[in-house]
Structures are given as C-alpha cells and as structure tokens.
Amino acid sequence: MHTIEITPLTATIGAEIRGVDLASAPDDPSTMATIEGALYEHLVLFFRDQHLTDAQHVRFAGCFGPFEHHAFAKSHPDFVDMTVLDQITPQNDGGNSWHSDSSFMEQPALGSVLRAVQLPPLGGDTCWASMYAAFDALSPRMQSMLDGLTALHDIIVPLEKAIAGGHSVSANLEEIRRAWPAMEHPVVRRHPVTGRPALYVNNNFTTRILGITKSESDVLLPYLLQHVQRPDFQVRFRWAPGSVAFWDNRVTQHYAVPDYSGHRRIMHRVTLTGERPA
C-alpha cells in the first residue's frame, strides 16, 4: 500500500496529493476518507499522473455525492454525468472571471472533479480562491453587516457569453428566464460540514445584494467582487497530462486563465449536486 502524501501549496488553499491511484481509490474506504478530509481542510486538491478513463473519472467523483446535470453545458456523448469543456477561444466563455459554479441554482454544486484531456503547449492554468479567507479578511463590522443579508444570483448574463462563444447549448433566453428565475442566497454561507463562514457572491452570477438600497448594493457588491480576487486568497495550478483537480465549490471560487487562444484545451468535468446555501 502506498503512503498518501498531502502537501499544502499555500497557507490558505490548495494541496497536492500523492500516493493515490484515483482509478482504484473507490475500492478503499480509508483512502476515500483521507481525500474527503483533505478536501475540507485544503478546499482544492490536485492529483498528478492520473491516467483515468472516463468511466473511472465518473466512478471516483460519484463517491462524493449525486451528480449535477447542468442544463446548459455540453455533456459527453457516452457519459451523461460528464461535461466536456472544449475551448479554443477561452475569452468568450465566462470562465475567465472569478466565480462559483451554478450559484444561480437553488442547490448549487457541491464541487467538481476536473481532468485534463488535451492541453495547449503553454498556458491554460486555473486559479482557485478561498472564500473562508475572503470572509476572514473583512473587518468584524463588515462581517456583521453582511451576515444575514442575501443576494440575487442570475444565469442570463453569463449564459449569453457562453452561447456567443460556442461553449453552451443554444437556447431561448426568455424560456430560460421563466424556467430559471434568479435565486436568492445568503451573502455569507456556512459550510455544512465545517460550519465555517464563507463569502458567497461571485462575478458571474451575483447581480444585487438585497436588504439594502440599490445604490448601496451598487457600491458594496463591486467592492466584495474585487475583494475576493486578492492574491493571498489564491492558489494557481499548472495543468499537465494526467492532472486532476477536485474542489469544494461551496467555499471557493475559480478562474480559468484565458492565455492560450488559437490552441485547443479539452477538459472533462464531473460536478456533484450540493445543498441549498445556508
């Protein structure tokens, strides 16, 4: 049996896991418990040299919860639980903006397992930021004011960008508005396992803070969206063939660096359904 090595990459977020074969890990409850514990502690985990099949990828991710089937993403032709991210013009798809996945949904994603399939010769890194750290860095008075407020999260604007860039299925936006009304979530949510508070607003989906005037929201929301981008909240990962990332979407945001235009980048992602933020 290999010894599992967990190496933190920053003082705030991210760890690299070695000594684990993700293809066989689901057969070992102890290994899976170690991975889950590391996820709660480090928020995003990185695994190298994992040459998984699509079926093995889906099996590993499914051990952590039910699958989320994103209404607007492109599914794998053979695995309905897997999304294919196939990009050549990444500036157009909305991933190059700090965001938390599917916060426009009533039950946003718990997390995702993302695997590199084809990479550009240079570039294409992904950054993650801790929303625990973002909340902790606010003054006590600001924390107190935000705790108890809610905000609206809306799919329409990023969906327009994704459709224009060819990274989402085309759709009638009026029908989507009726089917997917804006959702109200707390500005500060608490992790259902750790209980820690985390800032929960993001640039892709959060449109307004409620409980204050619109003019106050117009000042406060941009400030918070800028605040979450501080480098000391972040970790940056350079992909390589066989790389896999597993992150807790409830208390992180991520940013796909769009510096590889003209080169193809294919990633396979399996996303897990979460609970309603509280």
Question: pLDDT tens, 184-236?
Answer: 999 999 999 999 999 999 999 999 999 999 999 999 999 999 999 999 999 99
Cα separations (Å) of 172 from 39, 163, 180, 215? 38, 11, 12, 31
Tens digit of each residue's pLDDT (9 = 90 or more) over 105-145? 999 999 999 999 999 999 999 999 999 999 999 999 999 99
Is the per-residue pLDDT at 60 higher than 80?
A: yes
**Distance from C-alpha of 200 to C-alpha of 206, rounded to nearest angstrom:** 9
**Distance from C-alpha of 234 to C-alpha of 112, rounded to nearest angstrom:** 18
CATH code, 258 = 3.60.130.10
18 pLDDT band (50/70/90 cuts)? very high
Domain count, the chain: 1
Overall average pLDDT of the 56-75 stretch: 89
**Position 278 in a domain:** no
Average pLDDT, the chain: 93
pLDDT at 173: 75
35 pLDDT band (50/70/90 cuts)? very high
Is the per-residue pLDDT at 65 higher than 60?
A: yes
pLDDT at 102: 94
High-pLDDT (> 90) share of the chain, %: 81
**Position 174 in a domain:** yes
State which residues form the domain around 112.
Answer: 5-273
Cα 131 → chain centroid: 11
Cα separations (Å) of 94 from 112, 121, 205, 260? 17, 22, 10, 15
Parallel, antiparallel or unpaired: strands 44-47 and 15-18: parallel
**Position 256 in a domain:** yes
Overall average pLDDT of the 54-63 stretch: 98
Residues carrying an active site annotation:
99, 101, 254, 269
**Position 60 in a domain:** yes
Cα separations (Å) of 105 from 108, 168, 189? 5, 17, 15
Who has greater pLDDT, 72 or 15? Answer: 15
**Position 177 in a domain:** yes
**Position 109 in a domain:** yes
pLDDT at 269: 97
191 within 8 A of 198, measured Cβ to Cβ? yes
**Position 163 in a domain:** yes
**Distance from C-alpha of 218 to C-alpha of 273, rounded to nearest angstrom:** 31
Tens digit of each residue's pLDDT (9 = 90 or more) over 149-158? 999 999 887 7
110 within 8 A of 248, measured Cβ to Cβ? yes
Give backbone dihedrals phi and psi of 81, rounded to 5 degrees, phi first: -85, 0
25 pLDDT band (50/70/90 cuts)? very high
29 pLDDT band (50/70/90 cuts)? very high
pLDDT at 178: 84
